[in-house]
Amino acid sequence: MYNRRKFIGSAAALGIIGLLPSKIVSAGKRKPFLSKANKFPIILSTWSHGIVANAESMRLLENGASVLDAVEKGVMIPEGDPKNHSVGLGGIPDRDGKVTLDASIMDSEGNAGGVCFLEDIVHPVSVARMVMEKTPHVLLAGKGALQFALENGFKREKLLTPESKKVWEQMIKRKNYEPRINWEEKHNDFHDTIGLLAIDGSADMAGACTTSGLGGKVRGRVGDSPIIGAGLFVDNEIGAATATGMGELVMKTLGSFLVVEFMRKGASPQEACEKAILRIVDKVVGHEKYQIGFIALNKKGETGAYSLQPGFNYALSANGENVLINADSYFRK
């Protein structure tokens, strides 16, 4: 069923020297992870920045932290990394040069929180968690979200770094600028997200998703990441899913909820991710131009991932390893 994807290449090509996983495997070689349940705890997250996020989440889980703390603190690592241009500090700004962030979080009780169009706060995932824990609401936006964050002790910080400003200046010079399909260091204006899912030793699940969204987006644009059911969904009885890529396609199909619902009907996480991508192919006109990737986890500890275009990878931490895996895709090279 799985084609053997090309080995992803050198660490230099990945741009993650110093953040290397213990190994990088192709889709064909990940079968052991898919065909049998992994030993708990298990953490998986989108893209190569997932390696450091997973490592932190796993460290916390192994030291007795809650699964909610583990997912939050895991994604805070890429959020706080100024060299990561798709999440938090140093994110690529919108068309007007402003960095605006979206994030969401869900716990094993079905509680959910999110923030969108948030400026000047490095860790939107923590504000999302506070929305979940301290308000009766699920989503706060823009100035209201910022006010809420400041009232709750978050500090205002400048998110636009000299490097991300430079990328933005190059981007707006290109009249024909279009969102990139995949993370490509040579273009540097890539667009992706970290979505991280975890199941702890008691088989309780949580998830978090955070992004600076599409570089060069129209001011005010919000993607799928803060929308519960689109960028992230967790049902502790069934499983969890999260998405990356062009959020509009995920929003039009409520992708992460759809993945979990396919699992509820008996699909494995892998089958569920593939079916959700097929839904996008069936229903969203123009999908050929964009990338979408889903990852999923079920209550048994089985995992899955699938993308629209080749090039999507994810980090899987289980059975004492933290590996970067090339996902299989609908379109082939």
Residue ranges binding ligand GLY (CB under 6 A): 102, 193, 211, 213-214, 223-225, 244-247
Taking the complex as a whole, the smallest distance from the CB of residue 173 to ligand GLY amounts, in Å, to: 23
CB nearer to ligand GLY: pick between 242 and 322: 242
State CA 289 to chain mean position distance.
20
Taking the complex as a whole, the smallest distance from the CB of residue 285 to ligand GLY amounts, in Å, to: 18
Using CB atoms, what's the residue nearest to ligand GLY?
223
Cβ atoms of 164 and 91 closer than 8 Å: yes
DSSP 69: H
DSSP per residue, 221-238:
---STTSBTTTEEEETTT
Q: What is the residue whose two structure tokens read 């986890």?
A: 297
Cβ atoms of 226 and 102 closer than 8 Å: yes
Taking the complex as a whole, the smallest distance from the CB of residue 213 to ligand GLY amounts, in Å, to: 3
Residue 256 corresponds to which tokens in the numbers above?
Answer: 């992460």
124-134 vs 67-79: helix crossing angle, rounded to 10: 150
Separation of alpha carbons 318 and 323, rounded Å: 9
Q: What is the residue whose two structure tokens read 């706080």?
A: 80
Amino acid at 258: L
DSSP 127: H
CB nearer to ligand GLY: pick between 162 and 286: 286
CB nearer to ligand GLY: pick between 223 and 310: 223
Q: Following CA atoms 189, 140, 43, 287 in sequence, which dihedral angle do they give, to the nearest 10 degrees?
A: -50
DSSP per residue, 133-179:
HHSS-SEEEHHHHHHHHHHTTPPP-----HHHHHHHHHHHH-TT---
Taking the complex as a whole, the smallest distance from the CB of residue 28 to ligand GLY amounts, in Å, to: 27
Taking the complex as a whole, the smallest distance from the CB of residue 214 to ligand GLY amounts, in Å, to: 5
What sections of 41-161 are H helices per DSSP? 50-62, 67-79, 124-134, 142-151
Separation of alpha carbons 41 and 147, rounded Å: 36
CB nearer to ligand GLY: pick between 214 and 259: 214
Separation of alpha carbons 277 and 230, rounded Å: 13
CB nearer to ligand GLY: pick between 57 and 104: 104
CB nearer to ligand GLY: pick between 244 and 307: 244
CA angle, 230 then 233 then 235, to 5°: 150
Taking the complex as a whole, the smallest distance from the CB of residue 329 to ligand GLY amounts, in Å, to: 17
Residue 248 corresponds to which tokens in the numbers above?
Answer: 């509009």
Query: Phi, psi (5° rounding) for residue 199?
Result: -130, 130
Taking the complex as a whole, the smallest distance from the CB of residue 148 to ligand GLY amounts, in Å, to: 21
CB nearer to ligand GLY: pick between 140 and 214: 214
| Catalytic positions | 193
